[in-house]
Amino acid sequence: MRVLVVEDDRKIASFLVKGLRQAGFAVDCARDGEAGLGLALEAPYAAAIIDVMLPGQDGLCLVGKLRERKVSFPVLFLSAKRSVEDRVRGLRAGGDDYLTKPFAFTELLARVEALLRRSPSAVQASSLAAGDLRMDLVSREVSRGGRRIELHAREFSLLEYFLRNRGRAVSKAMILENVWNYDFDPQTNVVDVLVCRLREKVDRSFDKKMIETIRGVGYVLKP
Amino acid sequence: MSSSLKPRWRASLSVRLILSVAALFAAGDAAVLTTAYLTLASSLRQRDRAEIRAELEDLRGAYEEGGLPGLRGDVEQAGAQAIPFFVRLSAPGGARLFERLPPSPRPFDPSSLDVASRSLKDGALLQVGQSGAEREDVLERFRWIAAAIFLPTVLLSVLFGLWLLKRVVLGPVRRLHEVVEGVLAGKSGSRVPVGRDRGEIESLGELFNRMLDRIESLIAAMKGSLDVVAHDLRTPITRLRSGAEAALSGKADLAGCREALADCVEEADRVSTMLTTLMDISEAESGAMTLRLERVSLDELAAEAAELYRYAAEGKGVRLKVGAPSGAAALCDRNRMRQVVANLLDNAVKYTPRAGEVEISAVLRAGEAAIAVLDSGSGIPQEELPRVFERLYRGRAARSQRGLGLGLSLVRAVVSAHGGTVEASSPAGGGTLLEVRLPQGSSGIMRAQRQNAL
């Protein structure tokens, strides 16, 4: 899948391009609005990551022009401004998501993938699995290696989130947002504590540890 | 710069005031003098008319008693005393029977004559007149005197006005002007001297002093928090830099490098969180924070936050209790309030020792909904209680602990933006009680937004 990056800061741009290529995307990069518009009209992209503040024509203007010309791939805005109004302005201009700088690359990747998945094909699975771990979403039963594991509600949500993102790193902010629906950072290590409890139940009595900590990034559930 | 601030001559308050005072005095003077003049003129004229009428009656009597000779005798007799009357008797046909001009130093001028006439029984017409010249003399003298009074009084009033202005109005205004110029020139400590009597201008000066005090304290607070922020940023940035430098030094193996990089990311996140919180605080304090208001159950907020911190408290050996449902609800931004309550709880759990207890409850009182967080920690000394909401304040006991010290400042800023209040107290049973009170209606928020807009 081909993704377009429009970002004027050279370092951020190269870091985005590298990261996205590592994640398996083909990436084109433009440094300003005009070049971005040219590329977007030429090639069919699956998604675009566009900085709001660009030299010359800004990101909002660029997306406005794309939408006028019926170019409809999903757009993720990047911005240093984090107020609600800026977010709303971005979404009104035709963006599909909005991420503020500084951001964790894990989160950017998760959001881009979510944008790409946003097609109506997603069918709700009734169960999730990774390795010998099974989760039944209907009866809300969890087992590993045939052994039943009792989980509290939040532990269950966290494990469900891990399983849905198995093999992929998730940040603490992503966990807070998806498990508790909190979009700010409570300074105490509530996420660490919950992950720790989940590990007790899921990994402790097994040789193979599934939940790994990636320091500075977050956690990953490995099948 | 100051010269451009000097008032222009024409617009000058003092010139306009003096001219107004002088005009007012002149108008008053003129009114008084004119009234006196008109009264004098009219009473003089009445007196003259009465005299003429009396003379006419006199002469009529003389004529009707003694005919023309009687009249002549009367006039001649009067003439000896040089009475200033003009007398004429005309026959019914118009023929002049008798005429006498008054003795006068001036040439006879018929136009200045006041005349009264009367038809007699035999059809003759008797006319008696008197010259108005004498009256005119008196009035003219009066006019000269009036002018002599008018000009000096107006002049005097201008001088008096000047004195009054200087003393009562312009003095204080000039002092205000000097203070403002002083402040602009950098003497931020100068203040307007305020006397005992509180006129409009004096109270303006006092108001001005209060404004300067407020600006000074705001600047001091800003500078203070900037210092603390700079200090608190310096620490993570130093760690960031030294970590990266150590990894680059070449002695570190791959695992060591990864460790250093992870440290860098964590420190960067800390800096980022701190900046976000500072921005939130200043946004809330300046009134720029957009609040999406809805009716929110405080019981729900309390339970939600307790649920978030449940395991963290448990891991620390702190018992987290939720008070009984109160039915309290308030009009507020749900997401912002969640952040407020989470911060309160975060703080309480952080500063409560093992085996301690934290209780969060929603409270409903008359006209007020509140969320209270009580901990069994070591408590905050009485004198430090009001300071816990200051930016980056960390109590003596807490100073060693890691934390951003911004949580409670954010709480206060967001709660104030909602028109509510937050208070810290030390209850009798020990520990610390933090209480956020929110107005139940929307009026509080509108008031808060108005205040912030000012």
Under CATH, which number does the domain A2-117 receive?
3.40.50.2300
Give the distance from residue A85's alpha carbon to the nearest chain B alpha carbon, in angstroms.
Answer: 8
Sketch the domain layout of chain A as residue ranges. Answer: 2-117, 127-221
What pLDDT is recorded for position B384?
A: 78
pLDDT digits (tens, 9 = 90+) for A33-65: 999 999 999 888 999 999 999 988 889 999 999
What pLDDT is recorded for position B366?
A: 77
- pLDDT (mean) for A101-127: 79
For B262, name the nearest residue in chain A, comparing CA atoms only.
Answer: A216
Cβ under 8 Å to B: A residues 54-113: 82-85, 102
Contacts of A183 in chain B (CB under 8 A): 335
B342 contact A CB<8A: yes
* Partner-chain contact A193 B312, CB within 8 Å: yes
Which of A82, A182, A216 faces B262 most closely, judged by CB atoms?
Answer: A216
What pLDDT is recorded for position B394?
A: 55
User: Would you identify the CATH topology of the domain B200-285?
Assistant: Helix Hairpins (1.10.287)
pLDDT digits (tens, 9 = 90+) for A140-190: 999 999 899 999 999 999 999 999 988 889 998 889 988 988 877 776 688
CATH value of A127-221 in 3.30.70.360, 1.10.10.10, 3.30.750.200, 1.10.10.2520: 1.10.10.10
- DSSP symbol at A124: P
What pLDDT is recorded for position A121?
A: 47
Which of B349, B391, B339 shows the shortest CA–CA distance to B373? Answer: B349
Does ipTM exceed 0.90? no
The sheet carrying A133-136 orders its strands as A127-130, A133-136, A141-144, A147-149
Rounded CA gap, B326 and B364, in Å? 6
Which of A82, A84, A190 faces B312 most closely, judged by CB atoms?
Answer: A190
Peptide bond into A102 cis (omega under 30): yes
Residue stretches of chain B with pLDDT short of 50: 1-4, 396-404, 450-454
What pLDDT is recorded for position B105?
A: 60
B343 contact A CB<8A: yes
* Partner-chain contact A187 B264, CB within 8 Å: no
Contacts of A184 in chain B (CB under 8 A): 335, 339, 342
Q: Are A153 and B308 in contact (CB under 8 A)?
A: no
What pLDDT is recorded for position B12?
A: 72
What pLDDT is recorded for position A16?
A: 94
Give the distance from residue B263's alpha carbon to the nearest chain A alpha carbon, in angstroms.
Answer: 7
Round the average pLDDT of chain A to a whole number and report it.
89
**Dihedral sign, CA of B68, B71, B76, B77?**
positive
What pLDDT is recorded for position B78?
A: 62
Which of B263, B268, B335 faces A102 most closely, judged by CB atoms?
Answer: B268
- pLDDT (mean) for A87-91: 86
* Partner-chain contact A83 B335, CB within 8 Å: no
Q: Which CATH class is domain B293-453?
A: alpha beta
Sketch the domain layout of chain B as residue ranges. Answer: 1-102+109-187, 200-285, 293-453
Contacts of B317 in chain A (CB under 8 A): none
**Cα dist from B73 to B87, B210, B361, whole Å:** 13, 95, 125
Q: Are A81 and A51 in contact (CB under 8 A)?
A: no
Mutate to test the interface with A, among B275, B308, B345 (most CBs of A within 10 A): B308
Which residues make Cβ contacts (< 8 Å) with residue A214, sequence separation at least 6? A169, A220
What pLDDT is recorded for position B397?
A: 46
B308 contact A CB<8A: yes
Q: For A195-206, b where at least 16 C-beta lie within 10 A, e where not — what string?
A: bebbbebbbeee
* Partner-chain contact B263 A194, CB within 8 Å: no
Residue pointed to by tokens 């791939």: A73
* Partner-chain contact B290 A194, CB within 8 Å: no
Rounded CA gap, B412 and B160, in Å? 57
Strand blocks (E) in A120-199: 127-130, 133-136, 141-144, 147-149
A196 contact B CB<8A: yes
B255 contact A CB<8A: no
pLDDT digits (tens, 9 = 90+) for B126-143: 888 887 878 888 899 999
For A155, name the nearest residue in chain B, comparing CA atoms only.
Answer: B311
B312 contact A CB<8A: yes
B315 contact A CB<8A: yes
What pLDDT is recorded for position B179?
A: 87
Q: For B20-37, b where at least 16 C-beta lie within 10 A, e where not — what string?
A: ebbeebbeebeeebeeee
What pLDDT is recorded for position B177?
A: 85
* Partner-chain contact B308 A190, CB within 8 Å: yes
A146 contact B CB<8A: no
What pLDDT is recorded for position B402?
A: 44
A10 contact B CB<8A: no
Whether A197 shows a pLDDT value over 90: the answer reads: yes
B100 against A136, higher pLDDT: A136
Mutate to test the interface with A, among B311, B335, B408, B409 (most CBs of A within 10 A): B311
Tokens of B184: 């602009």
**Cα dist from B338 to A101, B14, B143, whole Å:** 23, 59, 88
* Partner-chain contact A185 B263, CB within 8 Å: no
Residue type, B239: R
A189 contact B CB<8A: yes
- Helix, strand counts (H, E) of chain B: 10, 11
Give the distance from residue A218's alpha carbon to the nearest chain B alpha carbon, in angstroms.
Answer: 10
Whether A120 shows a pLDDT value over 60: the answer reads: no
Rounded CA gap, B332 and A125, in Å? 37
What pLDDT is recorded for position B393?
A: 60
For B288, name the nearest residue in chain A, comparing CA atoms only.
Answer: A83
Q: Are B432 and B379 in contact (CB under 8 A)?
A: yes
Rounded CA gap, A104 and B72, in Å? 135
* Partner-chain contact A193 B315, CB within 8 Å: yes
* Partner-chain contact B311 A197, CB within 8 Å: yes
